[in-house]
Amino acid sequence: MPNGSLDSHLFKGKTLLTWDVRNKIAQGLASALLYLHEEGDHCVLHRDIKSSNIMLDSKFNAKLGDFGLARFVDHTKGSQTTALAEPVGYMAPECITARKASKESDVFSFGIVLLEIACGRRSIEHRISDESQVSLVPWVWKSYGNKRLVDVVDKKLGMNFDIKQMACLMIVGLWCAHPARNLRPSIRQAIQV
């Protein structure tokens, strides 16, 4: 992939991704996850969705990579679980307690990536001095609750983004990263929003 991984652009300063490119990447990742979860012969749990596993081609189309931890599950048996694999920072709360991955935990990781795309920072930033901002999800939840989502948007974008589209992306990211597994959307529902 000539443009490397998403994380090299968001966190390592390879190039500044414009809002349009970021939105395109988010939609491409959602389409890949929809195919894995619902459209193939078998449901595939990726179990390792993170910005470093989202590869970008020459036109910045997103390709989900690194299927080393992926597992097949049968569509007819509902939301099955497999042994834990998600990386810390992208791991759904139920994975920590039950040590199992599911479609819902993939959706959780997808939500984290959406928030990283919007905010331009990692899910956990230990170098931040304000402890309330170390973890991305609570920080964005707080801004959302205060009706100040624009405050957490990646500063490198300036104000060069569509505010409604950005808010939608962040709200979907929060919905997908909801702590309660049964309150997360399916990937199809997330795409529809």
- Identify the sign of the CA torsion 42, 46, 51, 56: negative
Q: What is the DSSP letter of 5?
A: B
On the question of pLDDT at 25 being above 50, the answer is yes
> Residue 86: what pLDDT?
47
Amino acid at 44: V
Summarize the confidence of residues 94-106 as an average pLDDT. Answer: 83
> Residue 77: what pLDDT?
54
On the question of pLDDT at 14 being above 80, the answer is no
Domains of the chain: which residue ranges? 6-192
Identify the active-site residue in 20, 41, 48, 151.
48
Buried-exposed string 127-166: b where 16+ CB fall within 10 A, e elsewhere: eeeeeebebbbebbbebbeeeebeebbbeebeeebeeeeb
> Residue 68: what pLDDT?
67
> Residue 90: what pLDDT?
83
Instruction: Show the tokens assigned to 155.
Output: 């500063």
Q: What gap in Å lies between CA 9 and CA 70, rounded to an integer?
A: 25
pLDDT per residue as tens digits for the range 130-148: 776 778 999 999 999 999 9
pLDDT per residue as tens digits for the range 27-74: 999 999 999 999 887 888 888 899 999 999 999 999 998 876 767 876
pTM as predicted: 0.90
Instruction: Show the tokens assigned to 185.
Output: 């959307």
User: Cβ neighbours of residue 50 under 8 Å, at least 6 residues apart?
Assistant: 7, 87, 89, 90, 109, 112, 113
Q: Does domain 6-192 have CATH number 1.10.510.10?
A: yes
pLDDT confidence band for 125 (50 / 70 / 90): confident
On the question of pLDDT at 85 being above 80, the answer is no
Q: What angle do CA 182, 138, 28 make, to 5 degrees?
A: 65
> Residue 42: what pLDDT?
82
Q: What gap in Å lies between CA 180 and CA 177, rounded to an integer?
A: 9
> Residue 82: what pLDDT?
53
Percent of the chain with pLDDT over 70: 90
What mean pLDDT is reported for the chain? Answer: 88
pLDDT confidence band for 19 (50 / 70 / 90): very high
Q: What angle do CA 122, 5, 121 make, to 5 degrees?
A: 15
The question of whether 66 is a catalytic residue gets the answer no
Cite the DSSP H helix spans in the chain. 6-10, 19-34, 93-98, 103-119, 136-145, 163-176, 187-192
pLDDT confidence band for 191 (50 / 70 / 90): very high
Whether 109 and 126 have beta carbons less than 8 Å apart is answered as no
